[in-house]
Structure 1
Amino acid sequence: MAAAYISGAEVLFRMTEGIIFYETGKYSVILFLLIGMFFKGASIKTTPFWIYLIILIPGILVASQTLDYEVVFRKAVAFNLAGPVCLGIAALYCYYKKITGVQFNYILMFLLLPLVCHMFYLFLYTPSIGESLSSGTNSNYAASGYFGPNQISTVMGLGAFLLATRLFIIKVPIINLIDLILFGMISYRAIVTFSRGGVITALICIILFLIFYYYNQSSKGKSSINKKIIFLFTAVFVTWFITSIFTQGLIDYRYTNRDAAGKLEDDITTGRTELIVSELQGFYENPFIGVGVGKAKEYRSEATGFETASHNEISRLLSEHGIFGLLAILILIFVPIVFWFKFKNNYYFMAFVAFWFLTINHSAMRIALPAFVYGLALLYIVDEKKNPVHRKRLAGQ
């Protein structure tokens, strides 16, 4: 719960300078989960994730030889490995860990509440949308609280996803109504960032959740779900319609890849393709040991003249770690898939894995959220009906 709360609040803390240093969120999540492993241990089946963490080490050794002398070695390594290590620790702690459905819902609540708080902060401390449209159809820093629109879009998108799923998991009408209103509000804040990654990711996650949840319901249950799906997507269309009015139609241009004048733009990825190509070039030229942790940014600067941080964790792992990075990616993708086919007891599994994969492909691992959500996908949720908890009777009962 502590790790969930910090993961949800990290971007808000960064915006309001409420943390000790920039990477406090990732280090806090790592610390809380290490404390959990110290007291509760970890599954003996976590060997793949120990291998994943170990194969990150050679990249550090390579970086000690390849990074420029002007670069502070400790900071470069820590900044680039904090996310992957956070992911590894989350996977170690969560993999095969048994948890009840009630406990799982509490964790999601601890993840959601700071996101809702963040949403209200944005409503209170950002200018009106009409005053912040000067950037045209580009990512809108003013509407994002003068912070990274990509990160704001990501966290607001996850909040929208969690609120959407609560409409089906929580079966209390008044709570459903409140969640539906909050869903519209938080979706609006995600959309007006003009950063598409988090919004599209949230929509895909909602669809994946609904597919698996719907498939596992009875005929009577499906009838009730159909009504809620109609309410949910009605809320989506109403939110989009309102946002389109407030943004004077610019949001429609943004999602159809047009500029403020309505002209179709050439690159739908807003320059990310060039970043990926430059990193894959580094992998092509150094396929076995890579260019070293933190060196991809320098390599890109030397090759293209532009010193831009990576937006794609997959290509960065390949570039900086070489064949070890490829092995790390295969572990992170296939271990959860094997786990899913074995148990299939978590409606959120596919949505959480999709959130992790899509997020690291448009926003790298700048925040702890995708790492922690990846870990949640690996929890073993106990079916309390099939596995009732037997409590000892106290003396005199």
Structure 2
Amino acid sequence: LICVLAYITGSEVLWRQVRAPIFYLAAPYLFIILSGFAVLFVLQRIGRDGRIALLYAAVMLPAMAVTIGTTGAGAREIIAFALSGPLALAAFVMFTSQVRIDPWMYRRVLWVTLISAVGPLTIAVADVRSELAFAGKINFSGQSNFVTSGGFGPVQVSSALSLGIMAAIFLIITEREKATKILASVLSIILGVQVLLTFSRGGSFAVGIAIAAFALAQARNRRVRNGIFAIAAVSFALAYFVVFPWLENFTGGAFEARFSNTESSRTDLAANDTEIFANNFVFGVGPGMTKYQRLGYEVCQIRSDQCVDEASSHTEFTRMLGEHGIPGIIAIVLLMMLAFSAAKRAGPGRAFAIAWIAWAVAQMFYANLRIVAVPFAFGLAFLTLSKDPISAARSDPERSEPDELDQAEDSNNPAEDRVLAGMPSSRSRSLKLPRGRTTSNMTEDAAAQEVRPEEVGPEAVKPEEVEPEEVEPQPTESGHISERSEQATGTPPPYTGGPQTNPFA
């Protein structure tokens, strides 16, 4: 189920890029439905963190009455747009906080997350090639670019691609095979270049913050720390000497001007949210209503052209203040409690949990919960890993997933069978083959050395490992005890030969 939700994470932006015939909020609705179904019918319980997440969602519901009273029939779409993200986050946390997975399954989730980000990347690259083919160049300015974002919102595309970068970096650290490491490295570079080309700074900044948090969490592990520093050094050198000069030339000098500019309109929007909270501190102005505070909802309905430049809140924390009032403060506290709880309970995967939380919180400061990538990353921090993926990648490099033989051996208890307890296991009875060889290409001599289960007899078992069975002597028809019965019971048969002599005399 987590892999399905990971696929939906990248598909959401892809659907919006290509104008797919799927309703706009399909992804958060699917998160809520599938996670809720798993909690109610599969897990059939709600843990402590799940109850906190449920309370986080519940405290934001009273403000809906304000939106309904202001907009009437148009409230459904406005409320859904504002609260679908928080509700998806709460539902997903209720599910993942009760899930325990192995490192191999965790890597599979990362691969699905990375592959799902390739979809939006492909659309963005196709639009860039199309624009260059017809116009000969792309016009870059001091604002985010829709062409390099695949014709959709650069903020959301940048967030989706940066989530793929996070998955790629973690795969580089946890994967065992060199081929998969190389593939993840190549995809991370391509995704990183496209994130920078969107001119939306939030995606690249969020990745930097998350990786820094991951490095700090792994500071005590010298091997991991050195590996992270090596990756960071190579990435910095590649970016400084290759990527940045190419981007500067490709954008006509706009790249440096864009990323060196520290001004952002989000500070003005956040200040506006706090002012709205000061004037409406009880229940706020209602979900999705900060956009209509300057001109009013009625004016925007009549003269929509006058409200084109009116922007809604882009910072989730100030949005909760302005739109929910005092319950919004409670929601912020509960969200922070969930974040600290995820880092505390993570166990072997604590560094990964901290990185996911850092990425999600950074996105909340920049892009609200407009796409399900943010709830997905926040929920991944609550997964309980059975073992640290980094140490698991080095402990047994030849095997990554449990096979059927392991499951069969685990299901049998040799102590319950006295004969099986004294016999070698099925793994020890089979011939150990080199990698890449099968029994079909074995030589006759090697095949002859294989010990088959049917060939295992009393000689293959040590005498002390098998207890002799007690067999009662069976009398014959004449009433005498047979010679075979006496041998079975351990009593020597009567002597029928010549005179007995003592060999030690």
**SS of equivalent residue, structure 2 residue 348:** coil
Amino acid at match of 1:356: A
Is the 8 Å Cα contact of residues 164 and 232 (structure 1) preserved in structure 2?
no
After the TM superposition, which parts of structure 1 deviate over 4 Å for at least 4 consecutive aligned residues?
129-132, 219-226, 302-306, 394-397
Post-superposition Cα deviations, 1:236-279, rounded to whole Å, max 9, x if no partner, equal 3332232222112211111111xxxxxxxxx701x222211221
Amino acid at match of 1:57: L
Q: Does 1:59 align with 2:63?
A: yes
After superposition, the Cα gap between the structure-2 partners of 1:106 and 1:273, relative to the gap in structure 1 and judged at 3 Å, is: same
After superposition, the Cα gap between the structure-2 partners of 1:362 and 1:298, relative to the gap in structure 1 and judged at 3 Å, is: same
Unaligned runs of 5+ in 1: 258-266
Partner in structure 2 of residue 124 of structure 1: 126
**SS of equivalent residue, structure 1 residue 72:** helix
**SS of equivalent residue, structure 2 residue 142:** coil
- Cα distance, 1:190 vs. partner? 0.4
Q: Does 1:40 align with 2:57?
A: no
After superposition, the Cα gap between the structure-2 partners of 1:63 and 1:186, relative to the gap in structure 1 and judged at 3 Å, is: same
Is the 8 Å Cα contact of residues 42 and 93 (structure 1) preserved in structure 2?
no
Residue 166 of structure 1: which of 166, 171, 192 is its match? 171
**SS of equivalent residue, structure 1 residue 57:** coil
Partner in structure 2 of residue 261 of structure 1: none
- Cα distance, 1:22 vs. partner? 0.9
Q: Does 1:268 align with 2:263?
A: yes
Moved more, 94-103 or 141-150: 94-103
Amino acid at match of 1:121: I
Partner in structure 2 of residue 328 of structure 1: 331
Distance in 1 of aligned mates of 2:235 and 2:367: 27
How large is the RMSD of aligned CA atoms in angstroms? 2.8
Residue 92 of structure 2: which of 77, 90, 93 is its match? 90
Unaligned runs of 5+ in 2: 298-305, 393-401, 421-425, 427-505
Distance in 1 of aligned mates of 2:346 and 2:334: 18
**SS of equivalent residue, structure 2 residue 385:** strand
Is the 8 Å Cα contact of residues 279 and 300 (structure 1) preserved in structure 2?
no
Is the 8 Å Cα contact of residues 42 and 92 (structure 1) preserved in structure 2?
no
Residue 287 of structure 1: which of 276, 281, 284 is its match? 281
Distance in 2 of aligned mates of 1:119 and 1:102: 26
Moved more, 130-139 or 96-105: 130-139
Amino acid at match of 2:360: W
- Cα distance, 1:312 vs. partner? 1.3
Distance in 2 of aligned mates of 1:171 and 1:225: 16
After superposition, the Cα gap between the structure-2 partners of 1:227 and 1:243, relative to the gap in structure 1 and judged at 3 Å, is: same
Amino acid at match of 2:173: F
- Cα distance, 1:137 vs. partner? 2.4
After superposition, the Cα gap between the structure-2 partners of 1:361 and 1:301, relative to the gap in structure 1 and judged at 3 Å, is: farther
Moved more, 228-237 or 113-122: 228-237
Distance in 1 of aligned mates of 2:283 and 2:228: 51
Residue 371 of structure 2: which of 348, 367, 390 is its match? 367
Partner in structure 2 of residue 392 of structure 1: 411
Amino acid at match of 1:291: V
Q: Does 1:113 align with 2:108?
A: no
Is the 8 Å Cα contact of residues 110 and 171 (structure 2) preserved in structure 1?
no
Amino acid at match of 1:205: A
**SS of equivalent residue, structure 2 residue 411:** coil
Distance in 2 of aligned mates of 1:54 and 1:153: 30
- Cα distance, 1:31 vs. partner? 1.9
Partner in structure 2 of residue 357 of structure 1: 361
Q: Does 1:187 align with 2:192?
A: yes
Distance in 2 of aligned mates of 1:281 and 1:48: 28
Distance in 1 of aligned mates of 2:225 and 2:284: 50
Is the 8 Å Cα contact of residues 82 and 288 (structure 2) preserved in structure 1?
yes
Is the 8 Å Cα contact of residues 206 and 362 (structure 2) preserved in structure 1?
yes
After TM superposition, list the pairs within 5 Å mapping 1:116-265 onto structure 2.
Answer: 116-126=118-128, 127-128=131-132, 131=136, 133-213=138-218, 215-217=219-221, 219=222, 222-223=225-226, 226-237=229-240, 238-257=242-261
Residue 310 of structure 2: which of 304, 307, 312 is its match? 307
- Cα distance, 1:216 vs. partner? 4.9
After superposition, the Cα gap between the structure-2 partners of 1:381 and 1:73, relative to the gap in structure 1 and judged at 3 Å, is: same
Post-superposition Cα deviations, 1:20-63, rounded to whole Å, max 9, x if no partner, equal 21111111222221222222334431221121121122111232
- Cα distance, 1:231 vs. partner? 2.9
After superposition, the Cα gap between the structure-2 partners of 1:42 and 1:252, relative to the gap in structure 1 and judged at 3 Å, is: farther
- Cα distance, 1:294 vs. partner? 2.3
Amino acid at match of 1:149: P
Q: Give TM-score scaled by structure 1 length.
A: 0.88
Distance in 1 of aligned mates of 2:364 and 2:227: 35
Is the 8 Å Cα contact of residues 94 and 379 (structure 1) preserved in structure 2?
yes
Amino acid at match of 1:21: F
Amino acid at match of 1:209: F
Is the 8 Å Cα contact of residues 120 and 157 (structure 2) preserved in structure 1?
no
Residue 352 of structure 2: which of 336, 348, 360 is its match? 348
More RCO (CA 8 Å, sep 6+):
1
Larger radius of gyration: 2
Amino acid at match of 2:239: V
Post-superposition Cα deviations, 1:274-316, rounded to whole Å, max 9, x if no partner, equal 2112211111112122112222222244499753222111111
After superposition, the Cα gap between the structure-2 partners of 1:283 and 1:9, relative to the gap in structure 1 and judged at 3 Å, is: same
Is the 8 Å Cα contact of residues 127 and 148 (structure 2) preserved in structure 1?
no
- Cα distance, 1:103 vs. partner? 1.7
Amino acid at match of 1:83: G
Distance in 1 of aligned mates of 2:125 and 2:346: 42
After superposition, the Cα gap between the structure-2 partners of 1:136 and 1:349, relative to the gap in structure 1 and judged at 3 Å, is: same
After superposition, the Cα gap between the structure-2 partners of 1:132 and 1:148, relative to the gap in structure 1 and judged at 3 Å, is: farther
Is the 8 Å Cα contact of residues 317 and 325 (structure 1) preserved in structure 2?
yes
Distance in 2 of aligned mates of 1:380 and 1:228: 26
